[in-house]
Structure 1
Amino acid sequence: MFIAMDKNQKRWNCLEEIPDVSKGPFYCLACNSPVRLKNGTVLRAHFAHVELQHCPYHHEAESLEHLELKASLYNWASKESRTEVESYLADFQQIADLLVVDKKLALEVQCSSLSLERLKERSDAYRSHGYQVYWLLGKKLWLKERLTKLQAGFLYFSQNRGFHLWELDLSKKELRLQYLIHEDLRGRLHYQTEIFPFGQKSLLEVLRTPYLSQPMQQMAVVLDRTFLTYVQQQLFYRHPKWMRLQEELYLQGHHLMELGLDFFYPLCRPILSQNLLQIEEDVEDYYQQFMTYYQSQGIQPVQILYPPRFYAQQKS
């Protein structure tokens, strides 16, 4: 943590000024328990709880990645807006990693796993008190081949970029927008990436990117011609998802392996999840418009994927 107060109630921010140890003792602004100033050679100057278990707001020692990313974002955001680091929001007893005060915008740098329940609790608390929150993900939470339940909880949605999320890369000093996130029927992810180097553009404008007027995005996914073999393997291993579908078809007098590839088309589809914790709008129309479009197109050797506004325009 970068913020603490001394015995005279003076607030110290190590990103602005590093106090002399003689100014101590220092205390956590949120829980008032003692903290220690650390100013070594590995981590930049910061405060750490003497006994972490006494603070309900800080649950683990901060990593180098978390400290440095907070510092980078603070320096970036402060260029254009009044920004606070580790802002304690007393109304709902939560600490925002960064708060763009005049925009009521909280930026949360998430470098470690947390429960979906805790993520929902924190996200709902921000929104119910009139704050917008962006979760920006550290290395351990970056997208890989498959979407985890927790990653689904960090997804946002816009008509111009579809399902998307934000990643922070400390080593490359860049903020990444992963967008047009889709999942094929094997469970593999497909998405596009846009990169924003730290400090080069307005951070607030960067975060608005998915919602700004812009050219139509698109992404090509080659038809998976070995998909039927994959389905056969899943039935052999009695995978629950495919066994359930087989049971439904059996009641209709069919068998999965009698069906052609066109039955499964489109093979690449929008994210379906019960854990879309950051998305308040109803996306059901998008799902329906998406399926209607590709079923009307018929099976294609390359599936071209578009943002939601494209499918809405086809309907009209």
Structure 2
Amino acid sequence: MLVARDTQGKFVNSLEEEYLVGEFFCPFCEGAVRVKRGSILRPHFAHISLRTCEGYTENESEEHLNLKASLYRWGVKMHSMQVEAFVPSIQQMADLLMDDKIALEVQCSSLSLKRLKERTENYRKIGCQVLWLLGKKLWLKRSLTALQKNFLYFSQNMGFYLWELDQEKEVLRLNYLIHEDLHGNVQYKTKEFPFERGDLLAVFRLPYQAQEVTSFLAKEDLDICRYVREQLYYQQPKWMQLQAEYYQKGQNLLTMSREDFYPQVRPVRAESFVQISQSLESYYSNFQQYYQQESRKNLQILYPPAFYQMILAENMIK
């Protein structure tokens, strides 16, 4: 932990205090803590007793401590910032609290979907927005895990997006226009923001700011029909279910051409998204309708949701 109380009950922030001398106590459980220093971890507090404290996790990683410290130094230049802020009304500890209304959660390890949903909904109850910022173990790789889908946010200007923190490069990374192809792999664009450069809040607001329409060329499988045949041959559940749905319509995946699978790269879908409260049905509908009207089926350019809405509205006027 980076914050403790002294014998007078005053909060002591190890990021601001150069000399940490005296007795200190955990702000959550009030148990005694000691100052720890080392060649790897920055100065911080740790419980003396091994008893369980529900507010803090012992053996906090170097990555977690350093990322919290970096965000604090960045944000405090222009905003009110509290590190390890305890919120009594929901009995929850925020890694950082910006301007008393935005909780920044630095997530460097896996957690259950139940816990993620619980913490997110608790913040919403008190009118606090939460931004989950992912450490290295949770970065996007080839495909989205069920957990990563529930860290996704959505805006009309950037579609599905995800925040990552890179301790080594010292950047906050925004992965946006996230889509999935028929193989289940992700395709997306990326922006990076160096730590402590500019206004941190302005970076977080970027997905909702007016901006030029961005796009990128989707990577398609030129032999998608062979891939589908293989999936059906090996009775992959996803494709067997889809085949059953097509059978009910009097169609067969095995007789479909490459053009029939267009567009191959599509918006992310899930039964629910923990961080997204608005309905996405109009986006899914606009997306599909736009590509159905495309005359060229040999390439696919991906755009943000606002683009499809605008183009289809213009076509209706015409």
TM-score after normalising by structure 1: 0.95
Distance in 1 between the 2:273 and 2:48 partners? 37
Deviation at 1:158, TM superposition (A): 0.4
1:116-135 alpha-carbon deviations (Å, 9 max, x no partner): 11011001111110111111
Deviation at 1:55, TM superposition (A): 0.7
- Give the 3-state SS of the residue equivalent to 2:74 in structure 1: helix
Deviation at 1:227, TM superposition (A): 0.8
- Give the 3-state SS of the residue equivalent to 1:297 in structure 2: coil
Identify the range of structure 1 (78-87 vs 270-279) with the bigger mean alpha-carbon deviation: 270-279
1:130 aligns with 2:91: no
Map 1:180-219 → 2, pairs under 5 A: 180-219=177-216
Structure 2: stretches of 5+ with no match in the other structure = 314-318
Deviation at 1:274, TM superposition (A): 2.2
Distance in 1 between the 2:79 and 2:57 partners? 29
Q: What does residue 17 of structure 2 align with?
A: 17
| Letter of the structure 1 residue corresponding to residue 260 of structure 2 | F
Aligned partners of 1:222 and 1:301 also within 8 Å: no
Aligned partners of 1:87 and 1:97 also within 8 Å: yes
- Give the 3-state SS of the residue equivalent to 2:157 in structure 1: coil
Q: 1:226 to 1:108 in 2, by over 3 A?
A: same
Distance in 2 between the 1:222 and 1:111 partners? 30
Distance in 1 between the 2:219 and 2:17 partners? 54
1:66-103 alpha-carbon deviations (Å, 9 max, x no partner): 0000000000000001111001111111111111135x
Identify the range of structure 1 (67-76 vs 238-247) with the bigger mean alpha-carbon deviation: 238-247
Q: 1:246 to 1:254 in 2, by over 3 A?
A: same
Q: What does residue 53 of structure 2 align with?
A: 55
Structure 1: stretches of 5+ with no match in the other structure = none
Distance in 2 between the 1:207 and 1:99 partners? 14
After TM superposition, the runs of 4+ consecutive aligned structure 1 residues lying more than 4 A away are none
Identify the range of structure 1 (300-309 vs 254-263) with the bigger mean alpha-carbon deviation: 254-263
Q: What does residue 4 of structure 1 align with?
A: 4
TM-score after normalising by structure 2: 0.95
| Letter of the structure 2 residue corresponding to residue 44 of structure 1 | R
| Letter of the structure 2 residue corresponding to residue 85 of structure 1 | V
Q: What does residue 35 of structure 2 align with?
A: 37
Deviation at 1:236, TM superposition (A): 1.2
Q: What does residue 316 of structure 2 align with?
A: none
Aligned counterpart for 2:232 among listed residues 232, 235, 260: 235
Aligned counterpart for 1:98 among listed residues 96, 99, 107: 96
Aligned counterpart for 2:68 among listed residues 56, 70, 81: 70
Q: 1:237 to 1:106 in 2, by over 3 A?
A: same
Aligned partners of 1:265 and 1:299 also within 8 Å: no
Distance in 1 between the 2:48 and 2:295 partners? 64
- Give the 3-state SS of the residue equivalent to 1:147 in structure 2: coil
Aligned counterpart for 2:137 among listed residues 134, 140, 151: 140
Equivalent pairs, count: 313
